[in-house]
Amino acid sequence: MTGQEQRIKISELPSSVSFRGLWTLGYQNMDGKKTSVKVSLDEIQTAYENVVSAATAAREATGTALSAASRANAAAGEAEKINITVSASEAKRAEAENARKEAEQERTRIEALRQESEELREANETERSNSEASRKEAENNRTLSEGVRVGEEAKRASAELLRNQAEQERAAEETKRTDNEQGRVSAESLRHQSETKRQEAETLRDQAELERISEEADRNAAEQERIAKETERQKAEQERVAAENERRKKEGERIVEEQLRKTSESTRQANETTRQAQEEQREQKITQAVLNAEQAADEAYTAAGRANAAATGAEGLVKGFQSDWSVADPTNPDYIRNKPEIPTLDATPMETTLQYTNVDGTTINFRIGDEARVLEDGEYVFYRLYDLADGVASWQQSGSGTALPGNVYLTGASYYNESVRTIKQGYLSNE
């Protein structure tokens, strides 16, 4: 030293924000001799950063596990809703097929979601294991840091011994003692800082361990909840399988009905062909009748007077034998007995709809194949009884139609007057 350097107090030095690039004094036995060496504090900084990184990774793994559990719960809820929808939609055969397809697609999507959540749970479990390994590695690093600290403490003791030796030589080398004293003070300051950092790192490690224990407890609780949800999902899956079997049974019945409908349709088409042929024959006869009408018109007018007189007398005679469909009194001579009827119900037939009361006031039990109708928004909706098992009726909608404004009767004219229009020379005429 030249004696010209300006001395600086330790309190005036800038503070260090990291152990990176810091060194402390120590000694090491080399070839049987105590040799002064410098020791890097980078390992303490590395151990501290590993502890912080492990704690952060554990918190992220816990958040991921909770998110996966929430998605699994949502998927189970959606599956339950689908099962309820499928069960309710079985009441109407016409809508059951479309609802089944939608439910099947939704079930496939829910199954994919469940598999995805299961895979995510496994990934979270793997990530938790990795976090545990990181924690153990951080613990090992802390142990290593502790060993380094013990070594540093031993080195500090060695430095203290060297200082004592230097103190014994102070009388001969006062200038050298002053330099050594400054170095010792600096080393002591660094040791105190190192000890403070070590204590802070130890506190952070304890906090990280407590957080890990808490997160492990949360993970166990989430796992128990997932097991319960998985049990509920398996139960829901069994119910869905039962509903699917029931749907297949209904589908088989629908196929049988479809075959019957196709048979009926074939018969209808044959009847339609026959009707068209008869219609053509009728048109030919009408054309011929139009030609004959002109010839018979004069004769008809001649006989009109006599026919009107005869009709008046015949009307009273025929009235005594003419039946009326609207007559409901069995004692009335116009009452029609054994009329075929389709009863009109007040509401849509249910499983408990087993009988009705006819126009005679008699209670009639429904039989398989019977039909009933319900007036809805001005139209009759027809229902057919397909099954009676154990006193439970199975009704299905069979068709619909518009209600007529009243009874319609087809009859021929029994008299001729000015209101009767005739066909003459191909044109309608009142002559």
Question: 227 CB contacts (<8 Å, ≥6 apart)?
Answer: none
Residue 240 has pLDDT above 60, yes or no: yes
- The pairing of strands 363-365 and 392-402 is unpaired
How far, in Å, CA of 431 to CA of 429, rounded?
6
Query: Per-residue pLDDT tens for 42-86?
Result: 877 787 788 888 878 877 887 787 887 778 778 777 777 776 765
Residue 420 has pLDDT above 70, yes or no: no
383: phi then psi, degrees, rounded to nearest 5? -125, 145
- pLDDT attached to residue 229: 92
Lowest-confidence range among 5-9, 307-311, 324-328?
307-311
Strands in 379-389's sheet, in edge-to-edge order, are 344-345, 371-376, 379-389, 392-402
For residues 400 and 379, is the Cβ–Cβ distance under 8 A? Answer: yes
- pLDDT attached to residue 232: 92
Residue 187 has pLDDT above 80, yes or no: yes
Q: Rounded to whole angstroms, what are the CA distances from 63 to 93, 114, 115, 210, 218?
A: 46, 19, 20, 17, 10
Residue 310: which pLDDT band, with cuts at 50, 70 and 90? low
How far, in Å, CA of 54 to CA of 99, rounded?
50
For range 340-362, the mean pLDDT? 85
Tell me how far the alpha carbon of residue 199 is from its chain's centroid.
53
Q: Rounded to whole angstroms, what are the CA distances from 159 to 29, 49, 151, 187, 195?
A: 13, 29, 12, 9, 16
How far, in Å, CA of 314 to CA of 308, rounded?
10
Tell me how far the alpha carbon of residue 20 is from its chain's centroid.
55
How far, in Å, CA of 114 to CA of 91, rounded?
29
The sign one gets for the Cα dihedral 82, 83, 88, 90 is positive
For range 172-188, the mean pLDDT? 83
Q: At what angle do helices 93-168 and 174-319 cross, to 10 degrees?
A: 170
Residue 409 has pLDDT above 60, yes or no: no
Task: Please tell me which residue, 332 or 378, carries the higher pLDDT value.
Answer: 378
- The pairing of strands 344-345 and 33-40 is unpaired
Residue 367 has pLDDT above 70, yes or no: yes
Which position has the token pair 């229902």?
383
Which position has the token pair 């689908």?
82
